[in-house]
Amino acid sequence: MAVERTLSIIKPDAVGKNVIGEIITRFEKTGLSVVAAKLVQLSDQVAGGFYAEHKERPFYKDLVAFMTSGPVLVQVLEGENAVALNRELMGATNPSEAAAGTIRADFAQTIDENAVHGSDSTTSAAREIGYFFAESELCERTR
Ligand code: RTP
Ligand code: MG
């Protein structure tokens, strides 16, 4: 399997609950390594641009309001099969449908405030990583 990078965001609800460490521990325990990370307060413009693909969806306005409601931890995870592995650890978008033991099952209550984001493909990952990080900010770990 290929070593991949994926963009992970720990959303304002989870940052507010002080579970950044517990969530990152899950990534580290499954072989994913943090190669870049920053805690940031997103502006409307940055959050709106990040979720531009959802601009016409009914939940877009609420999504941007939520993502700007407090700081988020934006990070790049690296490892074998990182994109799919991260999505597996996160669980379904709606926490009530997320498999037991997943991050969303354990830390999120609603589809609107669901603890984490993870890139959904290697193509999205490349775009999303570039949206938040310069190439020079990505550290060498497993490569
Ligand atoms: P994410 O992008 O945050 O990793 O989540 P995802 O791929 O599982 O879900 P996506 O379809 O990309 O939706 C992005 C985020 O929008 C919110 N959402 N709300 N109320 C709704 O029906 C609804 N659907 C999506 C969620 O916060 C979701 O994570
Ligand atoms: Mg998505």
Complex ipTM value: 0.92
Residue 54 among the catalytic residues: no
Going residue by residue through the chain, which has 143 residues, state the pLDDT in tens, using 9 for 90 and above: 899 999 999 999 999 999 999 999 999 999 999 999 999 999 999 999 999 999 999 999 999 999 999 999 999 999 999 999 999 999 999 999 999 999 999 999 999 999 999 999 999 999 999 999 999 999 998 55
- Which strands make up the sheet holding 3-10, listed edge to edge? 33-40, 72-80, 3-10, 116-118
63 CB under 6 A from ligand 1? Answer: yes
Handedness of CA 133, 34, 119, 73 (dihedral sign): negative
Give the CA dihedral 74, 79, 84, 87, nearest 10 degrees: -40
Tell which atom from ligand 1 comes closest to the C-alpha of 118: 4
88 CB under 6 A from ligand 1? Answer: no
Angle ∠(6,25,118) on CA atoms, nearest 5: 25
